[in-house]
Every structure is written in C-alpha cells, then in structure tokens.
Amino acid sequence: RQTAIAAVTNYQPTVKPLNFAETSPTDVFGSNVFSDKVMKAMLPKEIYKSLMATKQAGEEMDPTIAGPIAAAMKEWAIAKGATHYTHVFYPLTGLTAEKHDGFLSPDGQGGAIAEFDGKLLIQGEPDASSFPSGGLRATFEARGYTAWDLTNPAYILENPNGTFLCIPTAFISWKGHALDKKTPLLRANQAINKAGRRFLSLFGNDDGNMVVSNAGPEQEYFLLDRNFYFARPDLMVCGRTLFGAKPAKGQELDDHYFGAIPRRVLSFMLEVERELYKLGVPVKTRHNEVAPGQFEIAPLYEQSNLATDHNQMIMTTLKSVAKRHGMACLLHEKPFAGINGSGKHLNYSLSTPTQGSLYSPGDTPAENMQFLAITAATIRAVEKYSKLLRSVVASAGNDHRLGANEAPPAIISIFLGGELAEIFNQIELGDLKGTEAKGMLRVGVDTLPPLPMDSGDRNRTSPFAFTGNRFEFRAVGSDQSIAGAQVALNTMMAESLDFVADEIEKITKGDASKLSAACQKVIQGIMKKHGHVVFNGDGYADAWQKEAAKRGLPNLKTTPDALPAMIEKDVIELFEKYSVLSADELHSRCEIYHEQYNQHIQTESQLVVKIAKTIILPAAMRYQGELAGTAANLKAAGVKAETPALSAITDLVGKLDKSIVALEKLMIKEDFKSIEEEAQYKTSKILPAMLDVRAVADTLEGEVADDLWPLPSYQEILFIK
C-alpha cells in the first residue's frame, strides 16, 4: 500500500494533449471514419446512391453493392495503415466483442494478396460459441454469424500495437435469432418508424421522412490511480470495493462537483476526446461529478443505433486511455459504498429531419395537439410497461444504485414539470362540453402556455423526466449498454402511438374536423387510466414509497424481482407484435441476465471470503500479536496497564472469523430448482452475509495499526491523484 502511494506521488505525465492550434478540429474529427463523405468520393455514383437509399430511407439493401464498397473500404483502411479487419459486435454481456482477420491471404504462389470482398464484408463467422445464447444455439450449430450493419459507418482503430478496420455488425444465430444488443435495436427502430409515421400522418405531418429515435447518453465514471487499483483485488476482479471504511471526508462538502478538473485528469480527458473525435464521436461536455474521483462525459445526441455504438466506443476508450495515463477507469455502478454511484442518463427523443424533436412543444394549436398526443402516448407507455422499463436496467451493479437516494428509486414514474402536469390535469378533469366555459386548455384549439425549457428546478429524483424537448431516462447503469433501454422504449412507444392512432381514427372516421375533439378525448382517457404514473415530487422521500404503493405502481427493488417482467405475457405480446423479439429470444435473454447476476454475486462472494481470510484476517492477527507482545512485555516489566485495544481486536478477530464461516456455509448450497430461485437466494442470503463480513472488516480498518493495514483506503483511492 505504501509503495502504491509513493508510485502515485512520483507520477509524471507522458502524453501530449491535443491542441487545436497545431491540429485543426476539422482535420481530426471523423478522420478515422469511413464516412459518407469518404464513400461519396470513393464509390461509383450509383453504388453510393443505392447505399444512401438503404441508409437514410430504410430501403432494402441491394446485395451487389457490397463488392464495390468492400473494395473501397479495404483500399481506404490499408492506406490508413490497417493490417486487419474485424467484425465488431455487441453480445449480451454488454461488452464490445471483436474478431480479427488479416487482410493478407497467400496467393498460392509463394506471395500474398490483400483479400477482403463483399462476401466477407456482409457476413462474418466468429468462433463465438462461448458467448451467452440462453439455449438459442444448440452446440452442433453453435456458431452464430455477424451481419454487416451498414447504417453505422466502419472505422479504423489505431493502437500502439496495430491498426485495424472495424465493421459494425449484428450477431445472429444460424436460425436468425438475435444473440446481441444491436439486432433488436434495429428491429425496434423499424417499429418506431412505422408507427411514428402513421401517427404523424393523422396530423398531416408524415412527409415521407423516417421517424427515428435519438439518444444522448451522459456517461459517468470514476478514475483512480492504477497502483491503487492493482492493490485492491476487489476492484480488479469485481470493479467495486467489497471492503473499505467510510472516509473522514467523503463527498459531504460537495467541493468536487463542477470544481476545477485535476491536471492529470484533464490530460486524460483531452486524450479521450482526441481519440473519440477521430472516431467521429461528438463528445461535447466534460466535468467533475458529485463524488470525489467521479467524472462525466457526454456526446451530442445522435440517432439511436449510432449513439449506441458510440457509447460503447466511449466506454472502451475511457478504459484504454486511462491505462496510458497510469489510471484505471471504473464504470461500475457503485464502486464505493457510501459514495455516489455512476449512472448513464439516457436522453431520449423521437424526431424527423424536418420536424425535429416530436417532444418539442409547438407554438400553434395544431402543433400543441401533436405534442400533447405523443406525450400522452409516452405517459401511457411508461405506465403500462413500467415493469419492462425497470427490467431492462436490472443488473447486480445497478441494484446498489437504484433506490439508494442518489439515483432514482426502483419505482418507475414520470416527471412532467409543474406547467405540463397542470395542462394534462386540466385535460383529464375537463368535460368536453364545459371546457371552453371553464377556461381550460383545449387540445388543438388553444396554444400552449410557455413551458420552461430545461428550467432550473429540474427534478433529479425522477427516473423518467421531461426536460423541455426530450425525456431523460435516468435509471440506466453506467456499465450497461444503452441498447436495451432503447429497444424497450421504441417498442413501447410504437405500441402506444398505434393505440392513440387507433383510438383517434375510431372517433374521426377520417373526418379531419373532428381531430382536435378526438385528441382531447383520447388524451383524457389515457390520463384517467395511466395518469397516476405522473409524479413531480421528491422521488427520494419515504413518503413517495408509500404513495407509489397506494397508487399501485410496482416497486421492484432487486434484479431477481425485476427480470421476470421481461417474459410476462403482455411484454411477450408487445415484442412479438412488433417483431422486435420473439418469445424464445425473450426467454433466452431473461435466462442469460439471471445467469449473469448469479455469476456476479458468486464471484463477489468468493472474493469476499478470499480477501477476508488472506488479507484482512492476517493483518488483524499480526496486530493482535503485536498488542499481545506489548501486554506480555509490560507485565514482565511489572507495569500494570489496561489493554483495551487488545480486547477490542481479539473480539473483532473472533467476529470476523465467525462471519466468514457463516458466509461460506451459505455459499455451499447448489441444489436450486431454477436460476430464478438461485438469484433470489443470492439476493436474500448471500449479499447480506457478505455485508456482515464487510462490517467487521471495516471496523477493523479503524482499529489496526495503519502500517499493517494492507488495502488502500477510500481516502487514498479517492483523493490522491
């Protein structure tokens, strides 16, 4: 531990930061992306046009364009120094996976040629049988394949150890089952486009453009010195501390939040930004977060599929650049007990290129009608599928955060802000005939009162908050892919927009003059049935837990409580109706996420035992020995002295031993009827027993002589930079 501290204080930065005086921003941004611009310059006109039709208008791809595109891609990549190409995919582990192939192939005459054609571009075959599939791939057909996602650009990754071309792909079983995070997102995007355009057409606003969903994920993370990281097996293996007493100074003073960024961190951030600019990731903001050692990076929002790939790149880049700066980046949702955890606020909107965000309140009565209808559809979706929304953010890590009075509670509700909530209230209460007389807002007739955009009173305790022209889903974990949340949101919204369209059509029967009255009626109906999901108060307060229960809102506190929602009847119907995920695919996902949860807790509990037995107990006993020696010496010298420290340590050593034995005993059980039962057992039995061990160990940290304590303390990890 002392060596770690010495190494940190002697650290010298080695990386030269990016500087726009020497390198112009336009030279950097997207320089490693096989972008539309590059393709336009390199591809025959017809091929480029055909590609754009698929990319921008969602038309089916003409397979003959793959050959010329592959040729151009190869030429471009090799000129940039690439030796290999890799199909990048996003398995259900939430990580980014790569399979590398060399461009070089022997030509059979002792030489070699660079080989990469349309066939190799379109389809790859990773030996990926060890990725989780939840029983979707029988072993004899264990190989899934990767399919080119041409909607996102290929790019070059430069590494000190080599440069390679990355091709974004979907990962699918031979029978066409989705084995990854991307495939259902692409399907959900199709669903929201179709339902979105139908909805817009009711208002005369379908102009042939696609309706897309957008995501602006704000990524939180912790940075610490690598010397501390390596001195903490819990951080290395689990990404979070399993032990560690609360520091004398934590985040109470709030002096880190938006404070000056430490120099070393700044040079790290500059390099992260440079790397991400090259990859065309539009990172925009950076600042300190609430906890010491915690930071945030946010890009400008982009269309969902691209934003999702980019968020994966952000996570990978944060980790790799941190290494180069002698630091470790933690993406875990709760690395330090008692200190704020990390989340990923997912800013979500639906838009078209001509209308912008459909969540922007309009200035005219006609615009207000469409805005209120889509917002009502959102309220309905979030209420109807609140358990689904909770389940897609469920993970062992996120359980430490949700409901810990720093992140939104596990209860899914919607914040609309006072003004908008009042409008929906009025619509709900207003009887149609009397509204005019009562001076209430009439949908499609009156203009909306001005709504504060991004107002200062932004409620940070709500899991799903309206922020002026978008919603912010705040329950996503920092370590999670944002794909799952968007798959759920887009599919829920497709269903809800279709519902609204159906109901409106039932009333108007094609008569446009009845549209505003129909909207008013439909919104009123939605508010009566689903309006109880709207909550503008303090989500951290105990009162909300009680109030939410009274309103009948689910409160799924843990991952094993939340995951089964994924395979409930209405959710399966929803996903099958929109061809986003089949019942089989949903069941496989639910199983995989349970397995991941169980595996996580299993690893953590094993490590708790190991660290307690081999690191903490020996330190405590060494100190106990020292104290006993002193006591014996004093006695021999005829000094009569009390030995309270010795009694305290002896007592704690005994307690630690007992708590370890208790945990080990619980860990023996293996005969579970199902993975669900195992997960429940891990939540209710193993996690509390781990905490019992930790409680004694953390007390010991305050008793044992500092020079004997082996693990870097919270204070050291969080404050030494």
Binding residues for Mg ion restricted to 17-46, rule: CB under 5 A: none
For residue 285, the partner it binds in ligand ADP, Mg ion, none, with Cβ less than 5 to 8 A by kind, is: ligand ADP
Least separation in angstroms between residue 338's CB and Mg ion is: 22
* Residue 406: how many other CB atoms lie within 10 Å: 18
Binding mask 331-370 for ligand ADP (x = CB under 6 A): --------------x-xxx-------x-------------
Count of residues touching ligand ADP (by CB under 6 A):
15
**Could you identify the residue written with the tokens 């309006």?**
531
CB of 343 to Mg ion, least distance (A): 10
Q: Is 338 helix (H, G, I), strand (E, B) or coil?
A: coil
Report in angstroms how near the CB of residue 285 gets to ligand ADP at its nearest.
Answer: 5
Q: Which is nearer to ligand ADP, 80 or 460 (CB)?
A: 460
| Least distance CB 319 / ligand ADP (angstroms) | 20
Least separation in angstroms between residue 370's CB and ligand ADP is 16
Q: What is the closest distance, in whole angstroms, from the C-beta atom of residue 481 to ligand ADP in the complex?
A: 16
Nearest to 331 by CA among 239, 216, 242: 239
Asked if residues 452 and 367 have their Cβ atoms less than 8 Å apart, the reply is no
Q: Is 547 exposed, middle or buried (0-12, 13-18, 19+ CB in 10 A)?
A: middle
134 binds ligand ADP (CB under 6 A): no
Least distance (Å) between residue 683 CB and Mg ion: 30
State the binding string over 690-709 for ligand ADP (x if CB under 6 A, else -): --------------------
Residues 208-237 that bind ligand ADP (CB under 6 A): 214, 216, 218
Give the separation between CA 535 and CA 687, rounded to whole angstroms.
32
Site map for Mg ion, 297-336, x if CB under 5 A?
----------------------------------------
- Smallest distance, ligand ADP to C-beta of residue 192, A: 14
Least CB distance to Mg ion at residue 340 (A) = 13
**Rounded CA gap, 245 and 299, in Å?**
35
Which residue stretch of 230-238, 292-300, 582-590, 654-662 sits at the interface with ligand ADP (rule: CB under 6 A)?
292-300
Nearer to Mg ion among residue 218 and residue 333 (C-beta): 218
CB 331 → ligand ADP: shortest distance, Å? Answer: 17
Helix (H) or strand (E) holding 146: strand 145-148
Binders of ligand ADP among residues 457 to 476 (CB under 6 A) are 469-470
Cβ proximity to Mg ion, 464 vs 578, nearer residue: 464
Size of the site for Mg ion (CB under 5 A): 1
Kindly tell me which residue out of 105, 285, 364, 579 binds ligand ADP, with binding defined by CB under 6 A.
285
Terminal Cα distance for the chain, rounded: 15
Helix (H, G, I), strand (E, B) or coil at 708: helix
**Contact status: 180 vs Mg ion (CB under 5 A):** no
Which partner, ligand ADP, Mg ion, none, binds residue 347 by CB below 5 to 8 Å per kind?
ligand ADP
Q: Between residues 219 and 386, which has the closer beta carbon with respect to Mg ion?
A: 219
Whether 544 contacts 411, CB under 8 Å: yes
Residue 298 interacting with ligand ADP (CB under 6 A): yes
Q: How far apart are CB 214 and ligand ADP at their closest, in Å? A: 4
| Comparison of 246 and 286: residue with beta carbon closer to Mg ion | 286
Q: What secondary structure, in 3-state letters, does 234-295 show?
A: HHHHHCCCCCCCCCCCCCCCCCCCCCCCCHHHHHHHHHHHHHHHHCCCCEEEEEECCCCCEE
HEC string for 413-472: CEECCHHHHHHHHHHHHCCCCCHHHHCCCCCCCCCCCCCCCCCCCCCCCCCEEECCCCEE
DSSP 606-626: HHHHHHIIIIIHHHHHHHHHH
CA–CA dist 339, 549 (Å, integer): 28
What's at 549, amino acid-wise?
A
Q: Which is nearer to Mg ion, 66 or 269 (CB)?
A: 269
Task: In angstroms, give the least distance from the CB of 287 to Mg ion.
Answer: 8
Q: What share of the chain is helix, strand, coil (3-state, %, to 5)?
A: 50, 15, 35
DSSP annotation string for 630-644:
HHHHHHHTT-----H
Strand-strand pairing, 327-330 and 294-299: unpaired
Is residue 312 helix, strand or coil?
helix
Residues listed for the chain: 721
Alpha carbons 144 and 196: distance in angstroms, whole number: 32
> Measured from the CB atom, is 166 or 283 closer to ligand ADP?
283
Q: Residues 333, 398: contact at Cβ < 8 Å?
A: yes
Site string for Mg ion, 666-705 (x = CB under 5 A): ----------------------------------------
d(CA 524, CA 441): 12
Point out which span in 210-218, 239-247, 442-450, 672-680 binds Mg ion (CB under 5 A): 210-218
CB of 1 to ligand ADP, least distance (A): 36
Residues 634-693 that bind ligand ADP (CB under 6 A): none
Q: Are 526 and 533 in contact (CB under 8 A)?
A: no
**Segment contacting ligand ADP by CB under 6 A, of 95-103, 299-307, 386-394, 705-713:** 299-307
E strand or H helix at 323: helix 304-324
What span, in angstroms and rounded, lies between the C-alpha atoms of 374 and 362? 12
For 179, phi and psi rounded to 5 degrees? -110, 10
CA atoms within 13 A on the CB side of 446: 15
CB of 45 to ligand ADP, least distance (A): 34
Residue nearest to ligand ADP (CB): 216
Of 165 and 215, nearer to ligand ADP (C-beta) is 215
- How far lies 15's CA from each of 277, 314, 319, 329, in Å? 17, 19, 16, 17
* Binding-site string for Mg ion from residue 212 to residue 241, where x marks contact by CB under 5 A and - marks none: ------x-----------------------
Residues forming the site for Mg ion (CB under 5 A): 218
Q: Which residues here bind ligand ADP, judged by CB under 6 A?
A: 214, 216, 218, 285, 298-301, 345, 347-349, 357, 469-470
